[in-house]
Structure 1
Amino acid sequence: MAKSHGENGPRAPAAGGHLSGTRESLAPGPDAATADELSSLGSDSEANGFAERRIDKFGFIVGSQGAEGALEEVPLEVLRQRESKWLDMLNNWDKWMAKKHKKIRLRCQKGIPPSLRGRAWQYLSGGKVKLQQNPGKFDQAFWCLVQICEKYLPGYYSEKLEAIQLDGEILFSLLQKVSPVAHKHLSQQKIDPLLYMTEWFMCAFSRTLPWSSVLRVWDMFFCEGVKIIFRVGLVLLKHALGSPEKLKACQGQYETIERLRSLSPKIMQEAFLVQEVVELPVTERQIEREHLIQLRRWQDTRGELQCHSPPRLHGAKAILEAEPGPWPTLQPSPSIRLPPDAPLPGSKGKYKPPKQVQKEQRKQVKASGQRDKPPTPSQAKVAAAAGDACPPRDVPPKDLVHQDPQDSAPQDSAYHCSQESLTSQESEDTYL
């Protein structure tokens, strides 16, 4: 049968069949991959090529999880409003992160619009800053992955998976507070957390949840950090093993692990899962406190960690504070010189100079008033007796009394020059 299908080629859709945005008629192909897929369908009609498989809004073929119900659809008007709000945030990202981070968190919990999700993840994770710091090196997706490995989940992919083992103990300890029934059952069955949480945490649930739920989880994960991963794991354990009725079919290790590997589609559904994750009271402080406890136990029983990874950062705000974006360079602006009596821009009332400046101004006014007075006979005699080439400052020569103030400027400068030269000469003679 497989050979005849390969010779005849792919079949056309059956009469009355159609191709739409959500349904597609699949036919077997000649390659081995198609044969393997057909062998897993489990139905004669499907194996003969007449089965219709549903495709979700992301382009993925809905398989065993197709029974989870309709995907959550956002009305078009609401979607456009969210896009407008996110565009405003992305265009003023530093201001929003500094002053309205809680609003960003709430909008991430509602879901980032699909048209802006890639750009928003870059801003949230700090991948955009990395790309600006390394122009021309790799693309945006690469730097987003770098941030996940180095900032959100440091040490997860190192040798011996020590960070994953430590977080497994943290998850199991938090489960005792969230769901004592599930914690007791896993303890009695002696099931190590690595048997069920390794794939969850290392892949951030991308291989466990439906794709629509993965995107919503990652929206919150990039904003709030690893606590979202812990919350999702706790929600799944609570609803899979958190009641005596659910434990009736899990009498041994094998049945329990199979239950965790084949979770109910209901608890993985987008709206239900996100609501449970948002309402679960597990904070960053609880995770860090439990991390210190488990780290001490590890050191007491196994010694020091061989992988010394940097501390993880809890979300976009912590990453932005640790790695701020490049600020624009300040450009030189022309300076403005104001008269001494002019008020400063933006100040109220008239400008009041300091006391020292007021004293200097009064001295200058007093000296200028004395210049205008004619010399007394005693001052004239003293000047004649001195015979100095440079007359005293307060006794102007006769030929300068009626000169314009502008013309007297060179004389004043010459007088100052002569005084400076005398002072320098005296200091030089003293030194010699």
Structure 2
Amino acid sequence: MRGRRDSRSSLAPGQQNLAAYPHPGAHILSSFVKFPEGCVGLCVPARGKRRRGNESSLARGAGHAVPCRHWGKLRGPVCARSREAEAGEREQPGAGEARKRCAGLEEVPLEVLRQRESKWLDMLNNWDKWMAKKHKKIRLRCQKGIPPSLRGRAWQYLSGSKVKLEQNVGKFDELDLLTGDPKWLDVIERDLHRQFPFHEMFVSRGGHGQQDLFRVLKAYTLYRPEEGYCQAQAPIAAVLLMHMPAEQAFWCLVQICEKYLPGYYSEKLEAIQLDGQILFSLLHKVSPVAYKHLSKQKIDPILYMTEWFMCAFSRTLPWSSVLRVWDMFFCEGVKIIFRVGLVLLKHTLGSSDKLKSCQGQYETMERLRALSPKIMQETFLVQEVIELPVTERQIEREHLIQLKKWREMHGELQCKSPPRLHGAKAISDAEPPTRKALEPVPSIIVPPGPAPVPKARKSKEKSREKSLGGPANGPGAEGNGAPVSTRELLHPQVSPHHQSKESLSSRESEDTYL
């Protein structure tokens, strides 16, 4: 790390980060951070030989973070710890609890976890009803955290990727059989070993995790050839693969790229630049001190928020915090990403005491690169994000303002992206489930009710009754005197009252996956 810093020391403080940041048109992860081989986010492997079997891999979808001592030298997402401090903690009682608090872990009692699983199973088996009538309850339960055993399935329902898969059965298999563009395949292959190299799925070259990651990313380049591949998509797809199979992960990635973060991974990176200005404008209201400092240092938002937003904080936060943020992100949309960024900026640069060691551009950027573990701790971060009053309406209002400024300075956007949908409710309303149209016809045939009689026909029947001295004879003479046609006898209509109960039972018969 010392050599990397010395190689940039010849540049002026204001040019050091700009030199590492490529041109906005470059189709790569445009972050000011340069990661060496085998690096995950800001976690740098320790020097020396690594003993086999000493790594604590993340359980597939279990939501547990790797202990600090197994990551080697740590600078960002997890607490930086020295060997002396670790040795001292081993001698003290309660050292394990202190380490868990440092890493951001939150232990959920087993009974509480089983209760949450039962509630989520009920919601997932009756998803349409819950999304239509009890969306606020879903949001509250996402804020508490989705049970690890159901997290992958819940993400599919929240993002709408399950419906997307039902609408495109076999599409992923077709894309998987195609060769793909060689220019994207080479870049994808070079990025495979960089995604969570200590995770059991991605630890070995050519393993099933890296193979599935390659399949998902290659399929997206074929599904959206105009966008191709962006390096920030790799950690997104890797996190998804930890919780679901490749096909489901692909459609979940499609929903993130098209509904939650449209335009983020396009070639010009125009959408991420606009959101950077939106974040900076919202910071003026949330933390005027941090806003004033960044304005004084002339630090563009694109320098510190690109990796945060494009990777959805998967490279920045501790693992447990990443999962909690993603739970809320899939439910409430991009406002969660904005809130997390604002919380990090507020608690890093939001007071005069914290700015004493950030007198220049370089010092400020170093502080934003090495965030305090206390800020990123799961319980603290989630509570701050929930309480921060930033709404979809504010984001859309700022988007219109920044879009107008962009057009005045740069003209129209070159890469037009679809409108952004804020969360699961907006996606559900925009794309109603197709299975409603495929509901089976009820097996119980209910006799039809009386059909309405035209006025002209009623007058003729009355005159006929007067002339004959009684009601008209023939079919339909009983009851209200309405004639029943042959078509109605052969194909009776089912009343909505009887059909709704049968339809509900068919929806509730969906299997549950643990």
**TM-score (structure 1 length as normaliser):** 0.69
Q: Over residues 70-119 of structure 1, what are the superposed CA-to-partner deviations in whole Å (9 max), with x where a residue is unaligned? A: 61011111111111111111111111111111000000000000010000
Match of 1:216 in 2: 324
Match of 2:66 in 1: 60
Question: Are the equivalent residues in 2 in contact too, given 1:55–1:61 (CA < 8 A)?
Answer: no
Q: CA deviation at 1:359?
A: 5.2
Match of 2:503 in 1: none
Does residue 99 of structure 1 match 2:133? yes
Match of 1:206 in 2: 314
Would the alpha carbon gap of residues 287 and 130 (structure 1) be closer, same or farther in structure 2, given more than 3 Å must change?
same
Alignment size in residue pairs: 323
Distance in 2, Cα, partners of 1:300 & 1:59 = 46
Would the alpha carbon gap of residues 33 and 108 (structure 1) be closer, same or farther in structure 2, given more than 3 Å must change?
closer
Task: Select which of 343, 350, 359 maps to 1:242.
Answer: 350
Q: CA deviation at 1:303?
A: 1.2
Would the alpha carbon gap of residues 317 and 70 (structure 1) be closer, same or farther in structure 2, given more than 3 Å must change?
closer
Q: CA deviation at 1:280?
A: 0.2
Q: CA deviation at 1:301?
A: 1.2
Does residue 159 of structure 1 match 2:259? no
Would the alpha carbon gap of residues 263 and 354 (structure 1) be closer, same or farther in structure 2, given more than 3 Å must change?
same
Q: Over residues 227-253 of structure 1, what are the superposed CA-to-partner deviations in whole Å (9 max), with x where a residue is unaligned? A: 000000000000000011111111111
Distance in 1, Cα, partners of 2:378 & 2:343 = 13
Match of 1:320 in 2: 428
Q: Over residues 171-199 of structure 1, what are the superposed CA-to-partner deviations in whole Å (9 max), with x where a residue is unaligned? A: 00110100010011111111111110000
Question: Are the equivalent residues in 1 in contact too, given 2:104–2:320 (CA < 8 A)?
Answer: no
Quote the RMSD (CA, aligned, Å).
3.0
Does residue 117 of structure 1 match 2:146? no
Q: Over residues 299-323 of structure 1, what are the superposed CA-to-partner deviations in whole Å (9 max), with x where a residue is unaligned? A: 1111111111111000011111111
Distance in 2, Cα, partners of 1:287 & 1:184 = 20
Determine which structure has more spread, i.e. the larger CA radius of gyration: 1
Distance in 2, Cα, partners of 1:310 & 1:324 = 18
Match of 1:367 in 2: 467
Task: Select which of 324, 329, 344 maps to 2:438.
Answer: 329
Paired residue type of 1:78 = V
Q: CA deviation at 1:335?
A: 6.0
Q: Over residues 238-274 of structure 1, what are the superposed CA-to-partner deviations in whole Å (9 max), with x where a residue is unaligned? A: 0000011111111111110010011000100000000
Which sections of structure 1, spanning at least 5 residues, go unmatched?
1-31, 339-343, 345-350, 371-404, 407-432
Paired residue type of 2:133 = K
Look up the SS of the partner of 2:140 in the other structure: helix
Distance in 2, Cα, partners of 1:214 & 1:189 = 30
Give matches, 1:27-66, under 5 Å: 40-41=45-46, 58=64, 60-62=66-68, 63=71, 64=74, 65-66=78-79
Give matches, 1:12-31, under 5 Å: none
Question: Are the equivalent residues in 1 in contact too, given 2:65–2:318 (CA < 8 A)?
Answer: no
Distance in 2, Cα, partners of 1:294 & 1:80 = 46
**Identity over aligned pairs, percent:** 72
Question: Are the equivalent residues in 1 in contact too, given 2:260–2:422 (CA < 8 A)?
Answer: yes
Match of 2:115 in 1: 81
Paired residue type of 2:387 = E
Look up the SS of the partner of 2:354 in the other structure: helix
Does residue 173 of structure 1 match 2:281? yes
Question: Are the equivalent residues in 2 in contact too, given 1:170–1:294 (CA < 8 A)?
Answer: yes
Answer 1 or 2: higher relative contact order, Cα 8 Å, separation at least 6: 2
Match of 1:141 in 2: 249
Task: Select which of 307, 316, 330 maps to 2:415.
Answer: 307
Would the alpha carbon gap of residues 357 and 335 (structure 1) be closer, same or farther in structure 2, given more than 3 Å must change?
farther
Look up the SS of the partner of 2:438 in the other structure: coil
Look up the SS of the partner of 1:159 in the other structure: coil
Distance in 2, Cα, partners of 1:136 & 1:195 = 40
Give matches, 1:321-400, under 5 Å: 321-326=429-434, 327-329=436-438, 331=441, 334=445, 336=447, 360-369=460-469
Q: CA deviation at 1:356?
A: 6.6
Distance in 1, Cα, partners of 2:255 & 2:448 = 49
Distance in 1, Cα, partners of 2:324 & 2:340 = 11
Distance in 2, Cα, partners of 1:352 & 1:292 = 53
Paired residue type of 2:64 = F
Q: CA deviation at 1:211?
A: 0.8
Match of 1:270 in 2: 378
Distance in 2, Cα, partners of 1:170 & 1:323 = 27
Which sections of structure 2, spanning at least 5 residues, go unmatched?
1-36, 80-98, 173-246, 475-514
Look up the SS of the partner of 1:247 in the other structure: coil
Would the alpha carbon gap of residues 316 and 59 (structure 1) be closer, same or farther in structure 2, given more than 3 Å must change?
same
Question: Are the equivalent residues in 2 in contact too, given 1:227–1:287 (CA < 8 A)?
Answer: yes
Q: CA deviation at 1:137?
A: 2.7
Paired residue type of 2:46 = L
Distance in 1, Cα, partners of 2:379 & 2:315 = 19
